[in-house]
Amino acid sequence: MDQNHSTSAKIPSGIPTRTARTKTSALNAWKRHHARCLKDGLWHLVRRPLSAWATIFAIAIVLALPGFLMTLATQIKHIGGALAAEQGQVNVYLKTGTDETHVKDFTQWLQSQPNVRSTHVIPPEQGLKDLARRLNIDSLDSDIANPLPTVVVLKLKNPTDQASLALREEIRNNPLVENLSESGAWVKRLQTISQFFDELSWWLMFLFGFTVVSVIGNTLRLELQKRREELALIALIGGTRRYMIRPLLYDGAIMGLLGGLVASGLIYTLLTMLTAPINQFAAEYGTQITVITPMMLTALLGLIGLSLGWLSAQLIGRNFLRHAVSA
Amino acid sequence: MIEFDGVSRRFSNGHFGLQDVRFHIPEGRMVFITGHSGSGKSTLLRLIPALDHPTSGTVRIGGHDLQKMPKHQYPKLRRQIGVVFQDHHLLPDRRVFDNVALPMQVAGFEPRDIRRRVEAALDKVGLLARQRARVDELSGGEQQRINIARALVNRPKILLADEPTGNLDPELSREIFNQFADFHAIGVTVLIASHDLHLLKTFAVPRIVLNQGRIAQIEEAF
């Protein structure tokens, strides 16, 4: 042993060289560790049911509100869509005395518009007959001059989009046109409301995402405090940061996933309870809401919960290891 | 193998844990580090697996300058070093087998290799029969032997022990030291920090004596 050193003793490198065989065993070890972390993560739900499920329910409630708004917006869209299909008819009243040639030209112009599905002309004589039939009169006195205008019944492909609104404006400004029905306006308003709810729910989801990250992060932070000595030991015996953080990622992701699934269950329950009043409203407008298991919503909330749980574990775990463990 | 070149460690309160420490321990040697409490023994041992870093000077392990080593290579370095503490650092909620197996699991060994080597390590420290026992069912001496088995199961090139017999009676302490001597005999470089001069004097092993963070004396084997 020399006090004044001289680098004489050379040992094989402390860092082993990787061979094909060690790569395979490293992959196997990696898979084994993932499997073990998953198993331990699930076992934590059984071993510490109170703290784990309290966190899961907190996540569920936080995710359920934007999820519910999202579902509601979809349902309003559904009602709006049904009404829009029904209300896609526009009655164009031409000026009295418009001759047949002009009517024919106008109708041809309408048919050439891309947003027009079909047109149907009701001449004044036909209109008079229909009126007589509705009034239960055999025939109206032919000596009286027919006061009814020619009506063109127009069916639009999408009555509430911008192109349809522009076409209405163009029709209204046509010198042959006296008036036209305005039935699609409130459908448009309904769709605007649903769009607002849709956007609001995404913003809420974004904001509440931070809450979910905090809730999961706090639970994991407590778990890390309990495991501080174990993590220090693993660092000492050569555990990598990824190795140390992996169980935490599984814990966070499992809690987030279950929180998302429970949130979906809460929304389904709430919708089922609200089906009757919603359908009463919807029936007045000739449509109906059917509450089915929201598979898309369940998958979406599960995925969001899982991602937020994983993100939270990453943030908390890395911060903890940086400050508390010499990894 | 282990080289300290003008190493100092100053803590945030201004106190020096080590000051200008220089020595070189060749591969396969067994060395005692001794001195009073607070003399810098533990600080010195913590620098070897890069659990702490010097404020000046260079620590080289196997020719590698630890300051220049990328952080992501520390785990690989630490897998080459076994560490035994005074206060055991065992996981009380796990069985003896699992505690000893931990370094091999971390290193990614196959389960059959883990079983074989853990059983061999437990056999070597005389606790094979207790492999299914929980750690908190064992005596202090048994726990320290588990600690030694865990430090050795990965077949490290270096074994560090920080006051390994601090809580044990003289007879057990001597038994533990004999086990360290056995590992030294098979080529492991062993560094033991202890203030038990009475025990250390019974072994023909070189000693580095620390005093207030400085090397006060290096006593060669007699």
Closest residue in chain B to residue A325, using alpha carbons only: B51
- Exposed/middle/buried for residue B16 (C-beta within 10 Å: 0-12, 13-18, 19+): middle
pLDDT tens track for B116-152: 999 998 988 888 999 999 988 888 888 888 988 998 8
Helices B96-107, A228-236: inter-axial angle, 10-degree rounding? 50
H and E: helices and strands count for chain B: 7, 10
Strand partners, A104: none
Beta bridge partner(s), residue A151 = A93, A122
- The single-letter code of the amino acid at A229 is E
A2 near B CB under 8 A: yes
What is the per-residue pLDDT across B30-69, written as a single tens digit (0 to 9) for each? Answer: 999 998 888 999 999 999 999 889 999 999 998 889 988 9
More confident residue, A74 or B110: B110
Domain with CATH 3.30.70.3040 in chain A: 88-181
Whether B53 has its CB under 8 Å from any CB of chain A: the answer is no
User: What is the band of A38 on the pLDDT scale with cuts at 50, 70, 90?
Assistant: very high
Is A30 close to B108, i.e. CB distance below 8 A? yes
Q: In this complex, do A5 and B63 lie within 8 Å of one another by their Cβ atoms?
A: no
- B156 in contact with chain A, both atoms CB, cutoff 8 A: no
Chain B residues with CB under 8 Å of A21 CB are: none
Which residues of chain A make contact with B215, given a CB cutoff of 8 A?
A: 3
* Cβ neighbours of A270 (radius 10 Å): 16
In A, residues 277-316, which contact B (CB 8 Å cutoff)? none
What is the mean predicted confidence (pLDDT) over A22-33? 78
Q: What is the pLDDT of residue A15?
A: 37
pLDDT band at A182 (very low <50, low <70, confident <90, very high): low
Partners of A229 on chain B (C-beta within 8 Å) are 89
Q: Of the candidates A4, A26, A32, which has its C-beta nearest B22's C-beta?
A: A4
Predicted pLDDT of residue A139: 62
Architecture of domain A88-181: 2-Layer Sandwich (3.30)
pLDDT at A4: 46
Mutation target among A4, A11, A241, A325 for the B interface, most CBs of B within 10 A: A11
Residue B191 has pLDDT above 80, yes or no: yes
**What per-residue confidence (pLDDT) applies to A5?**
38
Q: Are strands B81-84 and B158-162 parallel, antiparallel or unpaired?
A: parallel
Residue of B nearest to A16 (CA): B76
Task: For helices A295-324 and A228-236, give the axis angle rounded to 10 degrees.
Answer: 70
Residue A2: CB atoms within 10 A of its CB come to 14
Q: Check A15 against B83: CB less than 8 A apart.
A: no
Q: Is B29 on the interface with A (CB under 8 A)?
A: yes
Contact flag B102-A7 (C-beta cutoff 8 Å): no
Reply yes or no on whether the pLDDT at A310 is more than 80: yes
Q: Where are the domains of chain B?
A: 1-80+156-222, 87-155
pLDDT above 50 (res B154): yes
Cα(B211)–Cα(B195) distance, rounded to whole angstroms?
Answer: 12
Q: CB atoms < 10 A from the CB of A214, how many?
A: 15
CA distance B62 to A14: 7
pLDDT band at A253; cut points 50, 70, 90:
very high
Scanning B89-128 for CB atoms below 8 A from A yields 89, 91, 102-103, 105-111
Residue A166 touches chain B, beta carbons under 8 Å: no
Polymer length of chain B: 222
Of B112 and A78, the one with more pLDDT: B112
* Of B181, B208, B199, nearest in space to B25 by CA: B208
CATH 3.40.50.300 corresponds to the domain B1-80+156-222: yes
Tell me if A234 sits within 8 A of A243, measured CB to CB. yes
Give the nearest chain B residue to A235 (CA atoms). Answer: B75
From B18's Cα to the closest Cα of chain A, the distance in A is: 15
Please tell me if residue B220 touches chain A, with a CB cutoff of 8 Å.
yes
Output the six-digit token pair for B133.
């026992």
Residues linked to residue A267 through DSSP beta bridges, in sequence order: none
Beta bridge partners of B190: B30, B159
Contact call for A1 and B215, based on CB within 8 A: no
pLDDT at A164 over 90: no
State the pLDDT at residue A281: 67
Contact A237/B83, CB-based, under 8 Å?
Answer: yes
Residues in chain A: 327
What pLDDT is stored for residue B140 in this prediction? 83
Tell me the shortest Cα–Cα distance from B172 to chain A, in angstroms. 25
pLDDT for the residue A17: 39
* Average predicted confidence (pLDDT) for chain A: 78
Residue B76 with chain A: CB contacts under 8 Å: 14-16, 238
Residue linked to tokens 């392990």: B61
> Shortest CA distance to A165 belongs to which of A192, A200, A140?
A192
- A217 — pLDDT class (breaks 50, 70, 90): confident
SS3 of residue A226 by DSSP: helix
In whole angstroms, how far apart are CA B114 and each of A107, B102, B135?
87, 9, 19
Per-residue pLDDT of A260-295, as tens digits, reads 999 999 988 888 887 777 667 666 655 565 555 567
Cβ separation A234–B108 shorter than 8 A: no
Among B106, B155, B222, the residue to mutate for chain A (most A Cβ within 10 A): B106
DSSP of B1-32, one letter per residue? -EEEEEEEEE-TTS-EEEEEEEEEE-TT-EEE
Q: Does B1 touch chain A (CB under 8 A)?
A: yes
Q: Given this model, what pLDDT does residue A216 score?
A: 84
Residue B166, pLDDT above cutoff 80: no
- Helix residue ranges per DSSP H, B17-93: 41-47, 74-78
How far apart, in Å, are the Cα atoms of A28 and each of A21, A38, A245, B83?
11, 15, 18, 27
Dihedral sign for Cα B176, B179, B185, B187, please.
Answer: negative
User: How many angstroms separate the CA of residue A13 from the nearest CA in chain B?
Assistant: 6
Residues of A in Cβ contact (< 8 Å) with B25: 1
